[in-house]
Each structure stands twice: as C-alpha cells, then as structure tokens.
C-alpha cells in the first residue's frame, strides 16, 4: 500500500522523461514527491553566445552545474561552436557530464571531460590546478549567481587564469515556504533530499550541501539525522539512505 510506504521529498524539479532520482528511489520502495524550492532564470545569453563563438580566446571550459549546460543549450550553434570539442572541458556530476557530452557530441570518457569523478566544485578546482598546463589563454567558467568561492579562490591561488560569466540566477520559489511548512508539519518518518546549499531524516547530495545543512540544523535546533551522498548521483544517494535505514530504522 502506497500509504504505508516511506515518503521521500526530492527538493528539485523533476526531469522530463526519466528522472534517475525517481527511478532509484521507487526501486527502493519509497513514495516519491518532488518539491520545487528554487527557480532559475537564464541571463547574459548574448554575451554567452559571443564567448562560445570566440573559441580561440579560451583554453577550455569549466562547468559545475546542470543549469550552466542548459544555458549553453539555449545559445548553442552546432555548426559554429564545434571547436570546443578540442578544448579541455572540466566538469563533474553524472547528469551534468552526460548532458555536456551530448551537447558537445563527445564521449563521456576521461579524455574528453576531465574531472568527472570529482564530488564537488572544490574537488574539481584541485583537479584543474594539477592538470591544466596552458597559461596563455584563460578557461571560461560558466556559473550561477549563487556559486561558492572554493573553485575561483583555489584557481586564483594557483595562478590558473579564467574568465567567469554568470549565465543563470537562482531565486526562491514563490511557494517554497508553504511547501516546506507542509513537509515538516507531519510527524511520520520521511526523507528530505536537498540538492543545493541554498524526528526527520534529511539526506543531502554532496558534502557542500551537507555542511550548509549542518550549520542551519545547529542554528535552529532541529533534531534530525543528516546523511550525505558520497557521490553526486542517484545510485550513491540511495545506497547511503538504505544503508542508514538498515542500521538505524526498525521495521514495523
């Protein structure tokens, strides 16, 4: 019975077609609900298009989010931007790397997209500083207005030149507060999965989000368990959650 299944709230917009997080959660028997807390608005599209056309001005590309790939898709010219395939492309996260590989029409293998095994932007920054050898041209870093400081700070410290362009803005959904009130109002067991730093078990995707959650939990005095996915993908997240339940959650 669905009413007896453990609820899982995924705080993200469901992907069109097949959402890997829904599939992984339902496979484990969870009653899955999507809650959109954030809205994204794409900006600087003319500037982005011009920079992507000016391939020779950059030594490579840094992409740290799916939204940055979506921004590229909106201005992508398959006939005029193909030279990016020959540049160094740095990215991480299964879905982001997959979308980027499709857009560029390249393999997801290591020689085409570097850093795909990294778990967050800080980890990717370290990877870039140890593998990037071109000091004549900057890397093009496409990001959002809420991006964290770890990557640019590390690259500055290591004298890795890059040019940053904000291509999307993140804002709270108009219904965010109401939706969260409804989620936390219930007393039954459930999982709430956070995908961004912006008696309940809370699972979060990646250590950056985990650190943000921990600080808010302490500030608000929330009693809960925080489980952090070891890798930014659906199988790793479900493995962490189910492992926690097997150890700590008693059956009916």
Indicate whether 33 and 45 sit together in one domain. Answer: no
Q: Which residues pair with 171 in a beta bridge?
A: 39
Indicate whether 61 and 100 sit together in one domain. Answer: yes
Q: State the Cα–Cα distance between residues 207 and 205, nearest whole angstrom.
A: 7
Indicate whether 230 and 139 sit together in one domain. Answer: no
Indicate whether 78 and 132 sit together in one domain. Answer: yes
Domain that includes residue 202, residue range = 2-37+174-248
Indicate whether 68 and 122 sit together in one domain. Answer: yes
Tens of pLDDT, residues 109-165: 656 899 988 988 999 999 999 988 877 899 999 999 989 899 999 999 999 999 999
Last residue of a domain, one of 143, 171, 199: 171
Lowest-confidence range among 72-81, 109-118, 139-148, 233-242?
A: 109-118
Predicted TM-score (pTM) of the model is 0.70
What is the tally of structural domains in the chain?
A: 2
Last residue of a domain, one of 152, 171, 190: 171
Indicate whether 216 and 235 sit together in one domain. Answer: yes
**Who's near 215: CB < 8 A, 6+ residues apart?**
none
**Who's near 229: CB < 8 A, 6+ residues apart?**
203, 204, 205, 206, 236, 237, 240
Indicate whether 114 and 191 sit together in one domain. Answer: no
Of 10, 5, 7, which is closest to residue 35 (Cα–Cα)? 10
Comparison of pLDDT for 200 and 21, the residue scoring more: 21
**Who's near 9: CB < 8 A, 6+ residues apart?**
33, 34, 35, 183, 190, 191, 192, 193
Indicate whether 111 and 30 sit together in one domain. Answer: no
Indicate whether 75 and 138 sit together in one domain. Answer: yes
CATH of the domain at 17: 3.40.50.10090
For residue 252, what pLDDT band results from cuts at 50, 70 and 90? very low
Q: Which residues pair with 201 in a beta bridge?
A: 191, 225
Indicate whether 91 and 205 sit together in one domain. Answer: no
Indicate whether 113 and 165 sit together in one domain. Answer: yes
Last residue of a domain, one of 132, 152, 171: 171
Indicate whether 95 and 135 sit together in one domain. Answer: yes
Q: Which residues pair with 63 in a beta bridge?
A: 91, 142
């Amino acid at each position: 019975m669905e009413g007896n299944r453990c609820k899982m709230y995924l705080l993200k917009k469901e992907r069109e077609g097949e959402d890997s997080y829904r599939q992984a959660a339902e496979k484990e028997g969870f009653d899955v609900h999507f809650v959109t807390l954030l809205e994204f608005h794409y900006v600087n599209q003319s500037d982005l298009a011009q920079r992507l056309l000016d391939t020779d001005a950059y030594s490579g590309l840094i992409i740290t989010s799916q939204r940055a790939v979506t921004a590229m898709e909106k201005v992508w010219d398959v006939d005029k931007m193909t030279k990016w395939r020959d540049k160094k492309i740095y990215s991480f996260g299964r879905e982001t790397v997959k979308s980027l590989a499709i857009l560029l029409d390249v393999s997801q293998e290591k020689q085409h997209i570097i850093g795909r095994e990294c778990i967050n932007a800080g980890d990717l920054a370290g990877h870039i500083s140890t593998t990037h050898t071109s000091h004549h041209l900057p890397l093009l870093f496409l990001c959002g207005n809420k991006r964290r400081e770890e990557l640019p700070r590390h690259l500055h410290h290591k004298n890795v030149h890059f040019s940053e362009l904000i291509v999307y803005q993140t804002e709270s959904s108009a219904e965010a507060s109401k939706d969260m009130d409804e989620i936390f109002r219930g007393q039954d067991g459930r999982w709430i999965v956070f995908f961004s730093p912006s008696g309940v078990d809370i699972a979060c995707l990646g250590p950056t989000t985990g650190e943000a959650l921990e600080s808010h939990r302490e500030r608000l005095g929330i009693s809960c368990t925080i489980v952090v996915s070891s890798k930014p993908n659906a199988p790793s997240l479900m493995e962490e959650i189910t492992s926690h339940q097997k150890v700590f959650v008693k059956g009916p």
